Amino acid sequence: MSQIEKHKKNWEKLGELDPLWAILSDSSKRFNNWNLEEFLKTGEKEVENIFSELRSLDITPAKAEMLDFGCGVGRLTRHFLKYFFKYNGADISRPMIERAREINSGLPAEFFINEADLKIFSDNKFDFIYSGIVLQHLPNRELIKECIIEFKRILKNDGILVFQLPSKIPWTFRFQPVRRLYNFLKLIGFSENFLYQKIGLYPIKMSFISEVDMKEFLRDSGFEVLAIKEDTYCGPHVQSRTYYCKN
């Protein structure tokens, strides 16, 4: 099984077992303890923070069509629709996408299962692309960079890309023992349901790319880097950045 196939399988299982916690991993909300309306409400502040920063940069994205890469169950959908005529969400997890369609039925939004790349979308399609708390979970840095190259392809000329990614994980947190133990026990025959529900283990991985390396990669890829902002998406121990870029 390839890394991306394993990644897809893990997130489809999380989408079945505890989708809201898998997206926003508040320890008090584990085991399906998120209230749906409370969960959706968290997206409002996130979207407003993005557009507050864009306004400070004197940037106003065209309002036609946007992509939310790694949309999960559509936590941000209704909030992004304050700024765009059409929302598109893509996620690797079929259960997540099915739940997103249910939660956001009746809205001008479409949801797509994205297998391993963005080839389902044509060149120069979107005015705006956002990805938050998503790229960090991809299996390796090469796949992260491949996704960003695809973002460039499907963005319109002068389109805006905003994405979040950890820039440094302390050595004490890089071993990620919960994920490693989960993978070992699964390998020797324990079921995903038992590992998560009975022992509390999960397969979520966190990767990072330093701010210096990412800034260089974006410029080499042809993006104009408008701003790089510190964020708190990964908690107090992991340094994280949100990148604002123009195609």
Q: In this predicted structure, what is the pLDDT of residue 82?
A: 97
Same domain, 101 and 12: yes
**Which range marks the domain in which residue 178 is found?**
172-205
Same domain, 113 and 86: yes
Same domain, 232 and 128: yes
Mean local confidence (pLDDT), 164-178: 93
Cα separation, 25 vs 42, in Å, equals 12
Same domain, 21 and 122: yes
Same domain, 98 and 55: yes
Same domain, 67 and 151: yes
Q: Are 202 and 176 in contact (CB under 8 A)?
A: no
Same domain, 188 and 98: no
Each residue's pLDDT tens digit, 132-163? 999 999 999 999 999 999 999 999 999 999 99
CATH of the domain at 11: 3.40.50.150
SS3 letters across the chain: CCHHHHHHHHHHHHHHHCHHHHHCCCHHHCCCCCCHHHHHHHHHHHHHHHHHHHHHCCCCCCCCEEEEECCCCCCCHHHHCCCCCEEEEEECCHHHHHHHHHHCCCCCEEEEECCCCCCCCCCCCEEEEEECCCHHHCCCHHHHHHHHHHHHHHEEEEEEEEEEEEEECCHHHHCCHHHHHHHHHHHCCCCHHHHHHCCCCCCCCCCCCCHHHHHHHHHHCCCEEEEEEEECCCCCCCEEEEEEEEC
96: CB partners within 8 A, 6+ apart: 11, 12, 15, 19, 71, 72, 73
Same domain, 15 and 102: yes
Same domain, 129 and 195: no
pLDDT grade for 173, boundaries at 50, 70 and 90: confident
Each residue's pLDDT tens digit, 39-92? 999 999 999 999 999 999 999 999 999 999 999 999 999 999 999 999 999 999
Structural tokens at position 222: 């042809």
Same domain, 127 and 221: yes
Q: What is the pTM of this model?
A: 0.96
Each residue's pLDDT tens digit, 183-235? 999 999 999 999 999 999 999 999 999 999 999 999 999 999 999 999 999 99
Place of tokens 């820039």: 167
Same domain, 134 and 197: no
Same domain, 105 and 186: no
Q: Are 88 and 113 in contact (CB under 8 A)?
A: no
pLDDT grade for 116, boundaries at 50, 70 and 90: low
Q: In this predicted structure, what is the pLDDT of residue 189?
A: 96
Domain count, the chain: 2
